[in-house]
Copies of this chain bind each other. A is one copy, B any other.
Amino acid sequence: MRLIREFEEHCLEMAVTGTIVGGIHPYIGQEAVAVGVSAHLRKDDVITSTHRGHGHVLAKGADPKRALAELYGASTGLNRGRGGSMHAADVGLGIYGANGIVGAGAPIAVGAAWAARRQGRDQQVAVAYFGDGALSQGVVLEAFNLAALWSLPVLFVCENNGYAISLPVDRGLAGDPVRRAAGFGLTAAAVDGMDVEAVAEAAGRAVAACRAGRGPHFLECATYRFRGHHTVEHLMGINYRDEAEVASWTARDPLARQRARLAPAVADEVDAEIAALIAEAVAFAGSSPGSDPRDALDYLYAGMVPTRPGA
């Protein structure tokens, strides 16, 4: 959690300076979800992530150096500087990408689970992360049906942070998430997404059940983003959440709660380790080269490349 938090704090600064272009969707406040879930994931398990993906990607094991280099647009980045924040991926680690389109990752995860079963990798699971807003997106609901129908090992993790940009969940969603998911035959539960141990426990049960062939699961994690939807929000000075609400959630900071459970010396040690990792990542990303603009279309096709230039 500390790694994600520090990584993002650094990104927030770099988004202001313009080293990171396009801004980011900060995950700060939601770290317990990605970390609690990932505690049960193996390297060959697959995840699909969202526009708010740094936490998922790092928790699944992506190298912070290459993740940061990606955000710097460097050729050493996870995606060689082609993807940036919203598309960060490490396919070799089963990270099938953050995604700029809400809900788009869910059926991709179902596909990975289908392939795993087809290929006899029975123990493998796929995790689809998405927000509360994505529960109104048709393709996500279609994906629920496919996963349940074919009893695939998919864990759908809904990070309910209360808002889809400015839309409160009760103005976006009729009914409640768990009941909706259950209506598709998913085994569904809710958990406190501000407590990494609670998430880990619930996710552990769900992942084990998936691995045991007991079909897809759905986990609603009640959480909160401490920052704006996207870094540009701060510049715009818009506001749709009241201060008391924000304060009541920041008081439940998952990092503080977890720190309180650790011996202070251990916590300090973790902090120091993380600080070193971040420093290393910053140095790496900062000294990494960009790409030659003549290579802007590299990787467009894996097979025959038919592309003509624009002029």
Chain A residues within 8 Å of B, Cβ to Cβ: 136-139, 141-142, 144-145, 148-149, 171-175, 179-185
Q: In the docked arrangement, what's the CA distance between A276 and B50, Å?
A: 62
Q: In the docked arrangement, what's the CA distance between A137 and B144, Å?
A: 11
The main secondary structure of chain A at its interface with chain B is: helix
Q: In the docked arrangement, what's the CA distance between A171 and B175, Å?
A: 26
Whether B179 and A183, one on each chain, are in contact in the complex, defined by CB atoms closer than 8 angstroms, is yes
Whether B185 and A183, one on each chain, are in contact in the complex, defined by CB atoms closer than 8 angstroms, is no
| Nearest neighbor of A140 in chain B, beta-carbon distance | B138
Determine which of B138, B171, B183 lies in contact with A139 in the assembled complex, contact meaning CB atoms within 8 Å. B138
| Nearest neighbor of A107 in chain B, beta-carbon distance | B138
| Nearest neighbor of A144 in chain B, beta-carbon distance | B174
Whether B173 and A149, one on each chain, are in contact in the complex, defined by CB atoms closer than 8 angstroms, is yes
Residues of B within 8 A of A142 (CB): 136-138, 141
Smallest Cβ distance from A153 to chain B, in angstroms? 15
Sample (5) of A-B pairs whose CB atoms are under 8 Å apart = A137-B138, A137-B142, A138-B139, A175-B182, A183-B183
Q: In the docked arrangement, what's the CA distance between A180 and B137, Å?
A: 15
Instruction: Give 4 nearest A-B pairs by CB, closest first.
Output: A138-B138, A183-B183, A148-B174, A174-B185
Residues of B within 8 A of A172 (CB): 149
Q: In the docked arrangement, what's the CA distance between A93 and B248, Å?
A: 54
Residues of B within 8 A of A182 (CB): 175, 179, 183
